[in-house]
Structure 1
Amino acid sequence: MTESTGSASRPITAGIVCALVGFTSSFVVILTGLTAVGASPREAASGLLSVSVTMGAGSILLASWTRIPITVAWSTPGAALLAATGVVAGGWPAAVGAFLLTGALIVLTGLVSRLGALIAAIPTAIAQAMLAGILFQLCLGPVTGMAKDPLAVAPVVVVWLLALRFSPRWASPLAFCAAAVVIAVHLARSSTSIRTDQLLPHVVVTTPTLTFGAVIGIALPLYVVTMASQNVPGVAVMKGLGYQVPWRRSMLVTGAGTVLGAPAGGHAINLAAISAALAAGPEAGPDRFRRWIASVTSGVVVIGLGLAAGAFGQLVVLAPAGVIAAVAGLALMSTLASSLTAAMATPENHLPAVLTFVTAASGIAVAGVSAAFWALIVGLIARAVLQRPSSAA
């Protein structure tokens, strides 16, 4: 009886863990990215609430609809892209317009199979090198933070490193917990007051606009990063676990969710990749046909966490210099390592991948277009020029 009850509750437990790990390990990256492209603290908190609700609703809808443990996540690489891009022409309204366009492109991908095939045709080495270059600047956060305020940042780094040794899954959430303690001590010493009116959930709707810089500098790179680094690998992860994800339905749901969440500041949602295994793997119970409950549970919990977006936003605003950048950088370290590994997997792609990486990492903006776009162009051109045709048998 006890064993049966335990097995029945495992999908629910797995879903709670999936939501907690996914949210606490990267929400700082989301707030950092939205703020970088021009959102005010209040607008950034609204954006965090928006992507939390849309990705939670997406998980509930897809899992209930398909009876497959499909988990929807926010685009963490996309948020890192925003942080590396900065404000484009048109400011925050133009960024919101770019989010809307990104969602429309994801919907179009679900309707036009050739568009999905085009994204899948981007060489893995180039796509991952571009992502690594985007992540690089953010991953410098722990180093620069230690230089700015070692007493505040060192505890966060030490906790992260120890957790990585003994419980890797909880490394980023525990690093955030350490940061929260540091922030609490800082507030107590400085007697800084907290604005209680900002702690409640709130939605700030922005009228979107579109500029050339926003389309080329945000929308297209955000679409490519979301597809190549999240949706395509997400399908592969689920296939490895024995599940066939319905591509069209998934793209329509995540694309529509992105469109609906954009006016409130949500940048993009997509299929979960790494965290997908938490809800779809053996930890969600021995019965593969009940694991969809884990994804539904994860969606419910994520929506609940999103309601506290204002409080999380206040923590970021009140943190000592360098602490939040350190948390964001630590959260992305494993993704950077994976991207670099994939980018350098084949010797013939080493130089194109390096050129892509350094272009993206440079952070340059030419003609109002972000480095991520130019990195992709440089990498594809370099690969086309340097690739040797296979010799005839």
Structure 2
Amino acid sequence: MPSETDLLRSLDPEPPQPSTVDIARAMADGQRRKTRRGVGYAGIVAVTTLAIAGAVVAVGVNRGKTGTTTPVAAPKASASKKAEPKGDYTIPGVTGWRAPAATPPTSCTIEKLPVPDGVRMALVSGADPTGSYQVGRSYPKGGYQAVIWHNGKAKKVDLPGDMEESLRDVNSSGAAVGWSYQGKTEADTGPVPYAYVNGKVVKLAGVSRGEATAINEAGAITGDAADHAVVWPSPAQPPIRLPVPKGTKSSAASDIDEDGTVVGNLDLRVPYVWFPDGTYRALPLPTVDGKRAVGARVFSVRNGWAIGVADQSDEARAGKPADKMWAIRWNVRTGETQIADDWDMQPEALNAQGWEVGITKQGRAALIAGGKQVKLPELAPHDPGLLTNIPNAISDDGKIISGQSDDASDTIRAVIWRCA
């Protein structure tokens, strides 16, 4: 599910040859020559022509402009009588799913995950709701390798092709999704979506080019096909093309909730939600200091709440890097929008409790649960704000956080934090 790393990856050119350069690593190295990041998430997006592919609550998780500082129940369905567009589709979900009971952690420890073939450089890009599975990739000499971890044991997943590849998300059954770049010539090179199910790699049906970004417990998969948001009801079924307004140039589905609710983005500017009953609508843009944001992106959804980032500037309106950015949170069912003040642009992921992980305004990785901030330790000391410690997923009970951390040699390592 998307994170800051996902947005950074969108700047990575579709490589005709394997590359050993990780964009998050390059950005971090660049920041060692600066005191702080100079461009926000939307600024990164504004300078790329690639669609967001990939994209991990309860009111008041953060001390925002609205809400409280304690978690509350999951959002209730909207009582609004306003008619919504209706599509001729349904999206699979888990009937009667409920968030597990959990107590907010107060401290966390960090440990490295093993990597196949003794490769050191690796990262975790997603995890299942229990924290038993993690997925991501390693960086063997001269290329990339998709990896899945189960209870701390690593296994290579051999996606077809010999270019860039990664697994993006996984459910508690161990079914994972991702993509691999393929093509005979530079002109026809692009991502191909795959699932990893029951120990086998399966090309997702009905798509020649596209990316798979997320999977829920029912096995429904989100992503895009030829720059259009889609949902695969299962790896073996053809995709459902999600409806978008007339005039939309590109769209991508970034995440899916357990009830089948999908979130994504239109033209990198309009946050959107598709409900499992076939209705859909744009998510509202927030108003900050009396001014309405000019654009926003939504990255993750969990238990009825979604997280993303909004921008409010003349630069963003003109399609240039934005200088005013806010982390935002939506109740996707009612449309309530909140500004979250704790994060440096956005939280990286959230769980069913409404607890979030990300990089704080002080430039440090942290968990915010029950209105309290818990520091996520590093593998080795680094200056704040250098993207050297990034949490990308959190389990629903808050006990396992997954991501990446630089060691003393400045090598990205795949890690988990155990919290209690």
TM-score (norm 2): 0.23
TM-score (norm 1): 0.25
Q: Which has the larger radius of gyration?
A: 1
**Structure with higher RCO (Cα < 8 A, 6+ apart):** 1
